[in-house]
Structures are given as structure tokens and as C-alpha cells.
Amino acid sequence: MSVVFVDDPVVLAIVSACSLVLGGLLGLWVGRIWGVRRMLQSVLRDAEVTARIDSPTGLWNRLGFEERYLAARDGRRKCDWPVSVLFLDIDNFKAVNDTHGHPTGDLVLGCVAHLIGESFREHDTVARMGGDEFAVMLLGATLSESIEVAERVRRDVSSMSVPTEAEDWSGTVSIGVIEITRGEELESALKRVDLALYAAKHAGRNRVEAN
């Protein structure tokens, strides 16, 4: 096969222009592919986060809490740093729904959730586990430190007032507290902290009990 060399300046100019156009189109095509890919990755990340958020309160949901607990547990295995868990329940919340209706109950739930969410550090995990139950995981907090934090939250809730159509709501929470052991499984931790919460309820509510 023979190679033909073109030295016509017009032809060379045309070839050069075509090369630039094709190169630009190729770059635009590749750029759009990468742009779409980044957009899809962003959408997937947003979807993953959304699946772990409790939409009525904006807190983590049970799935989000469980995953973050497992990560903290694995960190607890590697180094001897404390991790504590709080379990909170609004006292007599069923009576709010039964007496004032679910819209009022949702309002009370949202206000209590907001107070709880604002009561902890950014790296703590605050989650709504379902209904009127909340869980909080405190990294680097010992049992005694977590009890102090729980008492502060309990006092703050008991002093809050939520305006409703009928009358202002004032209520309390009961709180169970544990410090997890190294490598403690989630099921074990939730069972122990639930027992502590039950002890607080059984002792008269509006209390903090540790296990």
C-alpha cells in the first residue's frame, strides 16, 4: 500500500478543522458521559441516605442507627474507647393520640424529636426507632457521662411546652442507658438498653435508669 502525502494548504486546513471538530465532539461526548455518571452516583448516594432517614423527624431511622452502631462496635473492638447507648420513650404518648388526635400526636412527636436531635453532638447518632421511641449512640462517652446527658435531656423535655389547638402539651420521657461492651452485638445492646428503659417506666416514669 502506498502512502499519499498531501501538501495542498487548503486540504490540510480542511483536515485540521475536521480533526478539531471531531476532537471537540469526542471530548464533549466523553464529558457528558462522565457528567451523567457523576449525576447517577450522586442520585444513588442521596437515595442511600434517604433510605436511612426518618422522614417525619429528619433523624436517622432504625436502619441508619443499626449500620452506624455496627461501625462504632467495630471501632470499639480495635481500641478501648467507650460507646454508650440511650433509649428514650415519651411517657403516656398513646393518651395524646387518643385524647387529642393523631395530628396533635405528630406535632408533639416532632417537637420532642427536634429537642432530642439538638441535644447531642454532631458525631453522635440520634435515631427514631419507631413510634415514640428514640435511640442515641454517644461515641467516647462512659456510662456515668451518658447518665448525666440523659438526665439533662429528661429535664429539658419535662420543661418544654407544645402549643396545641386544645391545650398546651407538657410531658416527660423515660430513658434507659448502657455502655456497650467490646464487640457487643446490636441485638444484645438493644435488649439491655430496653431493659433499662423498662426499669425507668416501672419505677414511675420520667426517670433515667442504667443497665
33 vs 133, higher pLDDT: 133
pTM: 0.77
pLDDT of residue 5: 47
Tell me whether strands 83-90 and 173-179 are parallel, antiparallel or unpaired. antiparallel
In the chain, % of residues over pLDDT 70: 77
Higher pLDDT, 34 or 107: 107
pLDDT band of residue 50 (cuts 50, 70, 90) is confident
As a whole number of angstroms, the distance between CA 62 and CA 81 comes to 24
pLDDT of residue 99: 86
Spatial neighbors of 63 by CB under 8 A, at least 6 apart, are: 51, 52
Give the pLDDT band of residue 176 (cuts 50, 70, 90): very high
pLDDT of 160 above 80: yes
Cα 76 from Cα 111, distance rounded (Å): 33
- The answer on pLDDT for 33 being more than 80 is no
Q: Write down the pLDDT at residue 81.
A: 85
* Bridge partner list, 208: 175
Amino acid making up residue 98: D
Residue 36 pLDDT more than 60? no
Planar angle of CA 130, 53, 105, nearest 5 degrees: 45
